[in-house]
């Protein structure tokens, strides 16, 4: 009897201590529960706070923040600065494992009804965290489908030669712009950063034929360039020679015209003198002609009207 009384007394004395411990534990639990609402957003993240599943805060900047504890509010912190990648025409995991893409993934139909294999790599970042998380389902694969649709549309409007040679940069930019419009219309919260064509090749079954066509095209371009260069060398030379011949002919014509005009003028002057003094004119012409015919012969003129008619020719003898 005394033992049970002692036990009841001990229990009665220990109840206050148990109550104090329970109050301490309850306060600690409440404090921990309240402190569970603290969350940290890293520099490469943006926070999204949900209250009973509805977004109440979007784009929370890096730092320490507070929200109501669970189950009232929760937070999600997606990365927004990290560049994500998605492939079109192949799977990145398969490439890392050395597995080639399937024909259905990589083959596209060109505008001139040729089949070509294209592999495209797209890079993107998260622009709006809440839209990226809750507006669409599987946004990562939606990027692939949007880019694949834009690539199919662009390739269908071009010829295979253009795709293989000069239009690669244009195709990549068109895919980026077209896919971005689709993603914006769906409200995905995704911003495409870049699109790169990794490989643009003909199908393996006709690769040899494509190479032969490309070789023939290069030969054609080479021959055209050689012919153009030859024409560029020959045409100026021919034009120069033509201008030179024309210049010579014009000079020859001017010379002959001037000579003819001079001769005509001289003849007209002689005719005028002849009409005034025919005898003197005949004698002068005769002397000039003889000077031209006998340029090295000394000539002496004797007036037959003077003297006695006898002519002493001893003055012609050489002097000793």
- pLDDT exceeding 90 applies to what percent of the chain? 7
Residue 98 pLDDT exceeds 60: no
Phi (first) and psi of residue 45, to 5 degrees: -120, 165
pLDDT value, residue 127: 85
* Contact predicate 210/202, CB 8 Å: yes
Contacts 24+ apart (CB under 8 A), 167-175: 168/197, 168/200, 171/197, 172/120, 172/196, 172/197, 174/150, 175/120, 175/122, 175/147, 175/150, 175/151
Query: Which segments of the chain does DSSP mark as H helices, in order?
Result: 2-35, 92-96, 103-106, 129-134, 139-155, 160-164, 168-186, 207-276, 278-293
Contact 79, 59 (CB under 8 A): no
- Counting other chains too, the contacts that 186-189 makes at CB distance below 8 Å and 24 or more residues apart are 186/135, 186/136, 186/142, 187/131, 187/135, 187/136, 188/131, 188/132, 188/135, 188/136, 188/139, 188/142, 188/143, 189/126, 189/127, 189/128, 189/129, 189/130, 189/131, 189/132, 189/133, 189/135, 189/139
Helix (H, G, I), strand (E, B) or coil at 255: helix
pLDDT of residue 176: 92
∠ Cα 266 270 275 (to 5°): 150
67-76, 128-137, 174-183 — most confident range: 174-183
Residue 100 has pLDDT above 60, yes or no: yes
Pick one of 3.30.450.20, 3.30.830.10, 3.90.230.10, 3.30.479.30 as the CATH number of 84-202. 3.30.479.30
Please tell me the pTM assigned to this model. 0.55
- Residue 312 confidence class, pLDDT cut points 50, 70, 90: low
Of the candidate ranges 24-33, 128-137, 169-178, the one whose mean pLDDT is the lowest: 24-33
pLDDT band for 192, please (50, 70, 90 cuts). Answer: very high
Residue 144's alpha-carbon distances to 89, 155, 214, in angstroms, are 9, 16, 31
Using alpha carbons only, give the angle 42, 45, 49 rounded to the nearest 5 degrees: 100
Q: How far apart are CA 181 and CA 128, in angstroms?
A: 15
Whether the per-residue pLDDT at 1 is higher than 60: the answer is: no
* Residue showing tokens 């005009």: 261
The residue ranges of every structural domain in the chain are 2-76, 84-202
For residue range 200-236, what is the model confidence (pLDDT) as tens digits?
887 776 666 666 776 777 788 888 888 888 888 888 8
Check residues 257 and 287 and name the one with the higher pLDDT: 257
pLDDT at 219: 80
Distance of alpha carbon 137 from alpha carbon 46, whole angstroms:
19
């Amino acid at each position: 009897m005394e033992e049970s009384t002692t036990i009841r007394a001990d229990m009665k004395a220990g109840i206050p201590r148990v109550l104090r411990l329970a109050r301490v534990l309850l306060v600690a639990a409440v404090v921990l529960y309240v402190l569970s609402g603290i969350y940290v957003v890293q520099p490469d993240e943006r926070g999204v706070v949900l209250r009973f599943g509805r977004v109440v805060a979007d784009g929370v900047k890096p730092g320490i923040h507070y929200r109501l504890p669970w189950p009232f509010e929760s937070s999600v912190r997606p990365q927004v600065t990290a560049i994500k990648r998605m492939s079109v025409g192949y799977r990145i995991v398969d490439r890392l494992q050395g597995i080639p893409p399937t024909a259905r993934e990589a083959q596209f139909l060109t505008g001139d009804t040729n089949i070509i294999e294209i592999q495209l790599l797209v890079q993107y970042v998260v622009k709006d965290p809440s839209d990226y998380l809750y507006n669409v389902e599987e946004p990562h694969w939606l990027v692939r489908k949007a880019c694949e649709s834009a690539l199919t549309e662009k390739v269908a409007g071009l010829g295979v030669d253009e795709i293989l040679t000069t239009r690669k940069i244009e195709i990549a930019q068109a895919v980026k712009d077209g896919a971005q419009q689709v993603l914006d219309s769906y409200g995905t919260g995704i911003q495409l950063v870049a699109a790169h064509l990794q490989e643009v090749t003909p199908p393996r079954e006709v690769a040899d034929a494509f190479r032969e066509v490309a070789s023939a095209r290069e030969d054609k371009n080479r021959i055209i360039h050689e012919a153009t260069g030859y024409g560029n060398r020959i045409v100026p030379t021919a034009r120069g020679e033509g201008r030179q011949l024309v210049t010579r002919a014009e000079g020859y014509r001017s010379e002959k015209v001037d000579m003819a005009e001079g001769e005509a003028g001289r003849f007209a002057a002689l005719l005028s003198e002849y009409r005034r003094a025919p005898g003197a004119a005949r004698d002068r012409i005769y002397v000039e002609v003889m000077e031209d015919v006998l340029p090295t012969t000394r000539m002496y003129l004797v007036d037959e009207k003077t003297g006695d008619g006898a002519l002493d020719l001893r003055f012609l003898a050489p002097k000793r």
